[in-house]
Structure 1
Amino acid sequence: MIMELDAKDRRILYELDKNARQPLSRIAKKVLLNRESVLYRIKKLFDKGIVRNYLTVINTSMLGFTHYKIYIKFQNINENQEKRFISDLTNNPHITWVASCDGSYSLIFAIKARTITELNDLLKVINNSYWKFIKEQHITTIINANHYYRDYLLNKSGTTERKINWGGNPKNIELDKINIEVLDQLSKNSRVTSVEIASKLGISADAVVNRIKKLQNEGIIQNYMLWPNVSLLEGFYYKVLVKTHSVNTDDEKRLKDYCRNNPNIVYALSCLGDWQFEMDLEVKNISEFREIIRDFSNKFNYILSDCTILSIYMEYKFRFFEKNILKT
């Protein structure tokens, strides 16, 4: 059920989605409230379950990792077995995101690995434990991903500043122990203060600030954003898996421009696998979703082979980095 939010709440959410680490005093000026009122409203948004957490978008491809999506169709699995499966996935530091869905698949998770061998070893552990519940399993490799600010919160469209990128060819930037800890703390909650991080690591707050700036300049930290409960915030969360053909560079640009200019599209991924493109949409109702998909199909019918629609009804984990992935 969608929670009723006034214009102030929606603007606060929008600002946190653009930059979750910006000071509350800055947000207060933008929404014409005092800092205490903004803090109170944010607390209510957490209490109502609209906001799950603050995320730090960490591009782990800069640390040598490639990202994959695993799509699973269940068979003969009961509720307790499914809960245990999901619990094992959420506790795995290599797994970034876990969600249940309706449609052609039952479960999706995102996983990162440094090599194909490491990916195979990670999946082997999962499959050996739960093979009898897996009817189908499809793997896609993420080439690059674009995150877009939730412009629908302000009924905006066509903005050019929405894009946050991650992915690409893996690099091997080395991190010292302190930077690893800084990333780990930020990945748990992107609004953790430099003072709080400093007290845990035994260094000065200024040193933390400087390290964060360096991680941003190196492209390891991309942005700070919200993780909302979409069913309470907007209503419905859909993922569209798009098979394409005969796509050239101009077509790719048009696809990404379309996603950037549509306020309800919040993610767009280029990938290798059974499909070549993914879009994530957050909409008020099925009619709004159909209208967007119809428009998308009309504009890109000349390169579309097929679209598979998944309805995401529950997310269990969303965290870009855990320090334990660097210990294996």
Structure 2
Amino acid sequence: VGSSRAVVGYRIKNLEKDGVIESYITAINLGKLGYTSYKIYFKLFNLNDRAEKEFYSFMKEAKCVIHCLKTEGAFDCSIVVAVSSIKELDDFLTELKNQFSAIIRDYQISLVVMSRIFKLSKILIGKESKEPKAERFSGSKEDMALDEKDKAILQAIANNANMPIVEIANKTNLSIDIVKYRMRKMQETGIVNTFRAIYDTSKLGFHHYVILLKTRKITKTGEEMINSWAKMHHSVMYITKRIGNWDYELNVALASIDDFSEFIGEMKKQLSEMLESYDTIINTKIIKLNYFPL
């Protein structure tokens, strides 16, 4: 970036202090550990302050919930759950519905097939994103065994991806060499995907929109067209392909309602031959984020 290490470090500290950088997370491939991830969108009603507090407290305490967001628009809340069996998902939903039947009007579940995450420079300075920062496919579940040392390391860095090796070693009571070796092995085997910062897009002057796309009959060429358009468009932060009520989810950063209208118009034009319908939500607040539920 043309600045000294000290200057870069100082600027990063200011971004953290100002809340632009909220946290540093380790993206863990739970599929390799025998888990399947589902995204669930909720429509809520009769929601007073007490009911809302209890609902989100439940989400924070539920070990299988790895991501929870407050939203506005077509849905009021979205979560991601990671479970090792369909029974575990059913048990979670049964408990949730029994406890919060008075406020859950409806919910929709989808399974992630693929995710492509793009670099922040694409949004901030319009830099062309030739390759995604991270690309993940759900694929078949594996069940790679983790011992207690691996688990301790992942628990330490799941929400502290920038933690120094020395601190990880102290926190886990492991030697520095063991921590380095095991972290390298977990990256090589694909258990650890990426280390990345979580940004508050509102502090950067953007709203975080989620566009849920339902497509008509679509070919491989059509899929490539959607992915290529998402990769090239400077506002798209990431795209996921899903199995469920929608086929794709676009996460976009837009500064104003005019930008939103322009984006939707361009999307309809570019994807006119394959777009059936779409829904829109705005992510407003992160309630929980933890990629390691063990």
Identify the TM-score tier after normalising by the shorter chain.
Answer: over 0.9
Where do 1:1-328 residues align within 5 Å? 31-150=1-120, 151-323=122-294
Residue in 2 that maps onto 1:7: none
Name the CA shift for 1:56/1:97 in 2 (closer, same or farther; >3 Å): same
Check 1:104–1:195 CA distance in 2 against 1; reply closer, same or farther (3 A cut).
Answer: same
Given that 2:218 and 2:274 are in contact with CA atoms closer than 8 Å, whether structure 1 keeps it comes out as yes
Instruction: Check conservation: 1:239, 1:311, Cα contact below 8 A.
Output: yes
What displacement does 1:32 show?
Answer: 2.7
Q: How much does 1:169 deviate?
A: 2.1
Give the drift of 1:187.
0.5
Q: Going by fraction, where is helix more abundant, 1 or 2? A: 1
* CA–CA distance in structure 1, aligned partners of residues 261 and 270 of structure 2: 14
Offset at 1:161? Answer: 4.3
Mapped partners of 2:105, 2:84: distance in 1: 27
In 2 relative to 1, CA 261–254 (structure 1 residues): closer, same or farther, beyond 3 Å?
same
Closer, same or farther: CA 302–42 of 1 in aligned 2, 3 Å: same
Listed one character per residue, the Cα deviations across residues 25-46 of structure 1 (whole Å, up to 9, x for unaligned) are xxxxxx3333332222222212
Deviates more, 1:313-322 or 1:233-242: 313-322
Alpha-carbon distance in structure 1 between the residues aligned to 2:181 and 2:257 = 46
Q: CA RMSD in A?
A: 1.5
Q: CA deviation at 1:158?
A: 4.0
CA 1:147 to 1:217, structure 2 compared with 1: closer, same or farther past 3 Å? Answer: same
The question of whether the paired residues in 2 share the 8 Å contact of 1:61 and 1:166 is answered with no
TM-score normalised per structure 1: 0.85
Query: 3-state SS of the aligned residue for 2:3?
Result: coil
| Paired residues of 2:119 and 2:129 also in contact (CA < 8 A) | no
- Cα distance in 1 for partners of 2:266, 2:176 equals 50
Question: 2: distance between equivalents of 1:148 and 1:86?
Answer: 29
Structure 1 unaligned residues grouped into runs of 5+: 1-30, 324-328
CA drift at 1:166? 4.5
**Paired residue secondary structure (2:211):** strand
Point out where structure 2 has 5 or more consecutive residues left out of the alignment. Answer: none
CA distance in 1, matches of 2:132, 2:71: 30
- Quote the offset at 1:306 in angstroms: 0.2
Shift of 1:87: 2.0
Does structure 2 conserve the Cα–Cα contact (< 8 Å) formed by 1:235 and 1:283? yes
Instruction: Please tell me whether the aligned partners of residues 216 and 274 of structure 2 are also in contact (alpha carbons under 8 angstroms).
Output: yes
Q: 1:223 to 1:248 in 2, by over 3 A?
A: same
Q: TM-score, normalised by structure 2?
A: 0.95
Q: 1:250-292 deviations in whole A, cap 9, x for unaligned?
A: 2112211221222221121111111111111112222222222
